[in-house]
Structure formats: structure tokens, C-alpha cells
Structure 1
Amino acid sequence: MSYNKIKWAILLIPTITLGLWEYVRHQFLLPYLSMELGNFLAPIIVLLVTLTLLTKLFRMMEDTQSMLQREKAMKAVFEEREQLARELHDGISQSLFLLSVKLDKLEQAEESSDRAAATEQIRGTVRHVYADIRQSIANLQAAPVTTDVPWMNAIRELAEDTRTNGRLQVKLDWRLSDGLLNGKEQVELLAILRESVMNVRKHAHASELTVTSEPLEGGFHVTVRDNGIGADTDAMWAKGRFGIRMMRDRAQSMGWTFTASGTAGQGTTITIEKARGGRHER
């Protein structure tokens, strides 16, 4: 039985029971039962039906709610695993391909200086792959985002994790409460924030990261800004920049506006905005 049918059954069964009792009493039992006895038996009959049928329906409703919560949690886990799969495919796999190319160059190098330069490049690529793997493992160990846990805790943990795993100073000015976004919006926005923070840690060489948010009438405005090496806006959208495209696709799937801007040497700014009337569900 579906959740809505259970709710309607709980609402209607006491009324139908009382109506049937009154009908049977007046049509068939009136010569045998006094009015006082019939009025006395009416609440007892409703109580007995409630204890038998409605108790079972309440258990069914609780089981349905638990199943919905589990499905919501599993959906969040699958989305996080999908994100990690994209990171592994478009991040680590590309780095390994680049590593194989550099190894070929090392084998073909004849001068010792060329070998030394190729060796140093290989070391840098290995360090990059190592950092990617560590980040992916950390993401796998992180608890999935569900609405069972206050969403603000996940935001604070993201900022705290960024502080404790590097020299990056994080400033968090968060003004969106749990109730302003539904479960789907919370999952998608946190995924975008995780990706943007990870990009800053991996590529920006920044010393300061600022994450701000503020509610708008019917929506919100979120900004992630760093003071790193930055890049021109055209370069940010160049082929192979999978992370920023993934963030944009997530935002667009929710009907949000996503912008990324930067200047070489002056840092990068990511903005996610939901205007009034924006879509809530995918």
C-alpha cells in the first residue's frame, strides 16, 4: 500500500466505522439496544477498530518512511560515487596517460640534462596522482550527505577538513539554514562546494579561501573565492577542465546560475545562484 493510501485509510477508517455502526444500530439493532447502550458502545467499537486496523497501518507508515529515508540516503551515496568515478576517470586516468608519455620521452632522451628534466616531470606527475588518490579516498570515507544529519554540520566539516589538510586559510560566512533548501538541493550544492574547494587545494596554490552564502527572496547566492594563481576565464573552460564543467552541469540541472571568473595572478571566483522561481527538484 502506498504512503498516501495509508494516510487516507487512517483518516477515513474511524469515520466509516462510526457511520457503519450507526447504520446497523438504527436499521437492525434498535429494537434490541437502548439509545444509551448504543451511545456507550459506539466509542468502544471505534477504539477496538483503531487498536486492530490503525495500529497496523501506523506500523506500515513507519516502515514506509524508513524505506524512503534509506532510498534517499542510497541516492546520495550513488551520486557521490558517480562524482568520484568521474574524478578518477578524468583526473587520475589522464595523469597516468601523461606519465606514460613522459616515460617514453625518458627512454628516448639521449642527453643527461634531458633525462633529468624528464625524471623531474615524472616525479611531479606521480605526486599529482598521489594527491588525487588521497583526495578520492578521503571522499569515499566521508559520510554521505543526507537530510538525516543537519546540513550545516556538513558545511562546517567541509571547511574544517580544508583547514586541517593544508596551509590554506578558510573563511566561512554561511547564512543559509537547513530549512531553506530541500534534500536534493542540499546534496547538489554541497557536491559543487566540495569540487570547487578541491580544485582550489589542488591547482590554485592559494593561501586564503572564502566561502560565503546569503539567502535571497525565493533563492540563495553562494560564492567561493580564492587568492591563488588564477586563470583567465577562457582558460578555465578549456578542453580537459572536467571539474568546472561538472559543477556547471550540476547547477544547471537544478535550474541554478553558475559562473566562474578569474584573472591570472589574481585568484578565481565561483558563484552559484538560485533566483526566485528556480526549479527545486530535478
Structure 2
Amino acid sequence: MKRFASIRYRYIFSHFHAVFLTTITLLSILLTIYVLFHPAWLTSEGIFLFILLYLVLSCIFSIYIGFKSSGDLKERLDYISVLITQFANGNYTSSIHFKDAYELSRIGNELNDLGKKLQSQVKSLQRMADEKGELAKTAHKSAVIEERQRLARDLHDAVSQQLFALTMMSEAAVKQLETNPELAKEQMRDVAAASLQAQTEMRALLLHLRPVHLSGDPLPKGIHKLINELKQKSQIDFEITIDEDLVLSETKEEHIFRIIQESLSNILRHAQATEVTLNVSKRSNELFLHIRDNGKGFDLSSDAERKTSYGLKTMKERSEELGGTFTIRSNVNEGTYIDIRIPC
């Protein structure tokens, strides 16, 4: 049924409608003449033979002409649909060109103008991001103070509380060693699990202490350094694919590095993943960033998750500052997928 709802078949059905109305009109006129005047040249057999021949030939011509005449319209609509899809994917350099003054040509030209305006806005956003990067350098001291305060809060909320819990649990286990060894053994298992969680939290917090400006390294080298450090400190298997010849502005490199840093920190702290895939590549006129883990995932529609997803909000804001798009997919026990596209 969807096929018959297309523009081409609607075009043919409109021809059939015209044929039907014309046939009814001709039949009415001829029958009226036959009944009122009884001309010798007009017989009932002639009327119905004429109507039948007209109906058959009209249907054949309607199908042929409707199919041929709607082809150009369908092709133009397909071009417009593809262009809108390109705009939705962030490819604002695409355009279409119709040579005549057809209404769809005017719509195509308006879409081309829209693409140019969007492209100009992306450049403005990226220029603003560059200016923001320069301002961020001048405000480095205040940023350091703010980061220290945030780390202090995270240490207090996460690691400090876990260390306090470890102290209480270990003291309880010591008291149970002689009277109830089995309970003490179970409590020590809890101590080991809690210490592992505290260690993971600490690694994630230390990950935030890396320099924002990549220490002068290009983006691919900085990412490899970051991954090598994490390999030494965690049991996660990393699969890394990076275009080594990437040439980006300093601001873009800093934003992308911080996005990757934030995503890996979230994986360490929350995902409980054993495998992480990272892909950074340039496709046509855009930079594509894909991050995937096989962790426990989460429910994106949950209000509690939305309120606590500060890291995801920061990653999305950094992507949009570069004129890019941020997409995340996740389900409970199915891992998390992050796709980011940034125009170059």
C-alpha cells in the first residue's frame, strides 16, 4: 500500500479521476441527445461503443502520460529529500541545481541558501569556540581553582565516603575474626569489593587531572598516551582506530580530547565495562567520533539518569560549540554508544 501512496501513482490516479469524470459527462450528453432528438446517426450501440473505446484508450494514455510526466517531479523531490537528509547529518556544503523556473526549482534554491546560512553559522560557532579558547587561557587560574573545588567535592562524595565505609567494615571484620570467622570472611570480601570501587573512582578522578591543552602533543598522540596510561591502570581492553594525519585547529583538538577524556572517565566510574572501542576519523567534510563500551548501560529515559549525567551534558555542549551533533544510545545491560559528527 505504501508504494501506491507515492507521488507517481497519485499522479496516475489523478488522470484516472479526470478520465472517469469525462466519461460520465460524455455519456450523459450523448444519452440526452439520443433521448430528446433521436438522430439517425446516433444509436445506443454507437454510444456505448464510443464510450468503451474512449475509456480503454484514455486509461492506457493516462498510465503512460502520468508515469512519464511524474518522473521529473519524483526525481526533483528525491533530490530535495536527499539534500534535507544531508543538512540533518551536518553536511551543509551539499546543494542542488535546477535550470528551469519550476516551483520546485525555487524551493531547491531556497534550500541552497539555507545550507549556505547554516554553513556560515557553523563557521561562526567555530570562530566563537576559538575565541572562547583564547579567553579560557587568560582565565587559567580561576579555572584551576574551580577544578580543584570540583575534585574536592568528588573526593568527598565518592572516595572519602568509600574509605570511611572501608574503615568501618574492616573494624567489624576484625572483631568477628575469633567469634565468627565465616562472617569475618564475608565482610572482608565486601571490603575487597569496596576498595576496588574506590580505586576505580580514584583513577577516574585522576583522569581529569590531565592537562587541557594536550601538553603540546597533536590529538592522535595525546589520545594514544591517554589510552596507554589507562591500559596500565585498568583491566579494560581498548580497540583504537585514529587517523594519524588529522589536521585540526588547537581549539577543536582540545574540545575533542576533553570529550574523549570525559567519556572514558564515565566508563571507568559507572559502566563496569571490559571492552571499549574508540574510532576517530575524517569522512568527507566532517570529523566522526565513535565511542562504544560493553558495560552495564543505563536507561536514557530515566529522570534520575538525566539529572546525574553531568558528564554527558558537558560532552554534548562541547560538540555543539563546534557546530557538531551528539548522539547517544544505551540500554540496561547492553552497553553505551556515542556518535559525534563535527564539520571540518
Q: TM-score, normalised by structure 2?
A: 0.46
Residue 121 of structure 1 deviates from its aligned partner by 8.1
Relative to 1, partners in 2 of residues 1:125 and 1:147: Cα closer, same or farther, differing over 3 Å? closer
Relative to 1, partners in 2 of residues 1:143 and 1:129: Cα closer, same or farther, differing over 3 Å? same
Contact 1:73 1:144 in 2 (8 A): no
Distance 1:264 1:131 in 2: 21
3-state SS of 1:224 partner: strand
Residue 221 of structure 1 deviates from its aligned partner by 0.9
* Corresponding pairs, count: 199
Answering whether residue 233 of structure 2 is matched by residue 170 of structure 1, we say no
Relative to 1, partners in 2 of residues 1:238 and 1:150: Cα closer, same or farther, differing over 3 Å? closer
Residue 239 of structure 1 deviates from its aligned partner by 1.5
RMSD: 4.1
Residue 72 of structure 1 deviates from its aligned partner by 8.1
Match of 1:248 among 291, 312, 316: 316
Answering whether residue 205 of structure 2 is matched by residue 136 of structure 1, we say yes
Residue 196 of structure 1 aligns with which residue?
263
Query: Where do 1:187-226 residues align within 5 Å?
Result: 187-226=254-293
Contact 1:76 1:146 in 2 (8 A): no
1:60-95 deviations in whole A, cap 9, x for unaligned? xxxxxxxxxx99877678767755654553x44443
Contact 2:327 2:340 in 1 (8 A): yes
Distance 2:316 2:340 in 1: 9
Distance 1:177 1:145 in 2: 19
Distance 2:283 2:141 in 1: 29
Residue 267 of structure 1 aligns with which residue?
335
Aligned letter for 2:306?
A: A
Answering whether residue 264 of structure 2 is matched by residue 157 of structure 1, we say no
Distance 2:149 2:341 in 1: 26
Contact 2:319 2:342 in 1 (8 A): no
Relative to 1, partners in 2 of residues 1:88 and 1:188: Cα closer, same or farther, differing over 3 Å? farther
For structure 1, the residue ranges without an aligned partner over 5 or more in a row are 1-69, 107-116, 277-282
Contact 1:155 1:190 in 2 (8 A): yes
Residue 157 of structure 1 deviates from its aligned partner by 0.7
Residue 272 of structure 1 deviates from its aligned partner by 1.5
Distance 1:72 1:178 in 2: 24
Distance 2:249 2:141 in 1: 17
Residue 135 of structure 1 deviates from its aligned partner by 3.6
Residue 185 of structure 1 aligns with which residue?
252
3-state SS of 1:270 partner: strand
Distance 1:128 1:156 in 2: 25
Distance 1:254 1:79 in 2: 21
For structure 2, the residue ranges without an aligned partner over 5 or more in a row are 1-133, 170-185
1:179-224 deviations in whole A, cap 9, x for unaligned? 1x21111111101101101111222121110000221333211010
1:232-263 deviations in whole A, cap 9, x for unaligned? 22248421222212222222233221122112
What percentage of aligned pairs have identical amino acids?
19
Contact 2:271 2:297 in 1 (8 A): yes
Residue 149 of structure 1 deviates from its aligned partner by 2.4
Match of 1:145 among 201, 208, 213: 213
Residue 230 of structure 1 aligns with which residue?
297
3-state SS of 1:212 partner: strand
Residue 273 of structure 1 deviates from its aligned partner by 1.1
Relative to 1, partners in 2 of residues 1:86 and 1:231: Cα closer, same or farther, differing over 3 Å? same
Distance 2:307 2:135 in 1: 36
Residue 96 of structure 2 aligns with which residue?
none
Distance 2:208 2:241 in 1: 23
Distance 1:77 1:146 in 2: 17
Contact 1:229 1:266 in 2 (8 A): yes
Distance 1:98 1:152 in 2: 37
Contact 1:262 1:268 in 2 (8 A): yes
Residue 42 of structure 1 aligns with which residue?
none
3-state SS of 1:184 partner: helix
Distance 2:283 2:246 in 1: 15
Query: Where do 1:85-124 residues align within 5 Å?
Result: 85-86=149-150, 88-89=152-153, 91-95=154-158
